[in-house]
Amino acid sequence: MSIQKVMVVGAGQMGSGIAQVFAQSGYEVILNDLNQEALQKGIRFIEKVLSKDVAKGKITEKNKADALSRLSTSERIKDAGDCDLVVEAIVESMEAKMSVFKELDQIAPKHTILASNTSSLPITEIAAVTNRPEKVIGMHFMNPVPVMKLVEIIRGLATSDETYNTIAYTSKQLNKISVEVNDFPGFVSNRILLPMINEAIYTVYEGVASPEDVDTVMKLGMNHPMGPLQLADFIGLDTCLSIMEVLHEGLGDSKYRPCPLLRKYVKAGWLGKKTARGFYEYS
């Protein structure tokens, strides 16, 4: 099956990055969110990233203009009516995702694939609220989407081979490398990444070292591009906590218990870069 037109639901950090890579790869893209403010913020961010790429000589002004011309915005999910693929990138709430998938299932044509960019919620459970579980799949991009090469493709229990093959092919068209993963809590990426971040938080909580020193160990000692606490601030501490809770509940092992300091920061509203305060302060 060939994908021509795509809707991305959610114009936040992930959704706008996903919309950008689809538009740059020649797809017609509708970026959808609940209001104009969110949509304009997403579009401005895409324009800024593309302008930087032009300034660096990575793309031409024409490449930028072409990508932007393929991108439109919509506040109505009903506009998915002529899309071949919908990629949902809204908040990590099962209730919110179920409601969007139910609505999409009613509106989208029979052939349309419904993908979720969830970082840890079960694809099988999301698929179960639709009448097309064979066409529901996880398409998990990494942040920042235009830079990171990976797409983790998650097969729900009922996902068909045809759906998987279409998404694997589409990921290649986006110039990404995909991996095939079965639907278990945290998939592969976050089952490994988040316990490392949680352990880094425990290291600070137990007074072993400061956040700066923990990050320096991992950057200079292990060659990570970013320390785990800075990365946690970038991901969002609320998202980190909700992924740890999914791992803890879904795998039932105490090694996945979220660090009390992570809970405390989230309760305080210190959610990382987006609130200008997490393990670090941002201006």
Active site residues: 119, 140, 152, 190
The yes or no reply on residue 235 touching ligand CAA (CB under 6 A) is: yes
The yes or no reply on residue 278 touching ligand CAA (CB under 6 A) is: no
Taking the alpha carbons at both ends of the chain, their separation in whole angstroms is 46
- Beta-carbon contacts of 222 under 8 Å, excluding residues fewer than 6 positions away, are none
Number of residues that bind ligand CAA (CB under 6 A): 18
Nearer to ligand CAA, 66 or 92 (CB): 92
The yes or no reply on residue 222 touching ligand CAA (CB under 6 A) is: no
Nearer to ligand CAA, 5 or 41 (CB): 41
Nearer to ligand CAA, 7 or 243 (CB): 243
Pairing mode, strands 5-9 and 136-141: unpaired
The yes or no reply on residue 147 touching ligand CAA (CB under 6 A) is: yes
The yes or no reply on residue 252 touching ligand CAA (CB under 6 A) is: no
**Least CB distance to ligand CAA at residue 226 (A):** 4
**Least CB distance to ligand CAA at residue 28 (A):** 22
The yes or no reply on residue 63 touching ligand CAA (CB under 6 A) is: no
x/- binding map, residues 193-212, to ligand CAA, per CB under 6 A?
Answer: x-------------------
Nearer to ligand CAA, 5 or 263 (CB): 263
* Dihedral (CA of 258, 264, 266, 271) sign: negative
**CA separation, residue 37 to residues 104, 140, 219, 271 (Å):** 22, 25, 37, 21
* Dihedral (CA of 141, 142, 143, 145) sign: negative
Stretch that binds ligand CAA, among 21-29, 97-105, 136-144, 199-207 (CB under 6 A): 136-144
**Least CB distance to ligand CAA at residue 117 (A):** 8
**Least CB distance to ligand CAA at residue 40 (A):** 18
The yes or no reply on residue 76 touching ligand CAA (CB under 6 A) is: no
Stretch that binds ligand CAA, among 82-90, 97-105, 140-148, 266-274 (CB under 6 A): 140-148
Provide the greatest CA pair distance for the chain: 56
Q: Which of 54, 107, 128, 142 binds ligand CAA (CB under 6 A)?
A: 142
**Least CB distance to ligand CAA at residue 224 (A):** 8
The yes or no reply on residue 62 touching ligand CAA (CB under 6 A) is: no
Residues contributing to the site for ligand CAA (CB under 6 A): 49, 52, 56, 58, 119, 142-144, 146-148, 189-190, 193, 225-226, 231, 235
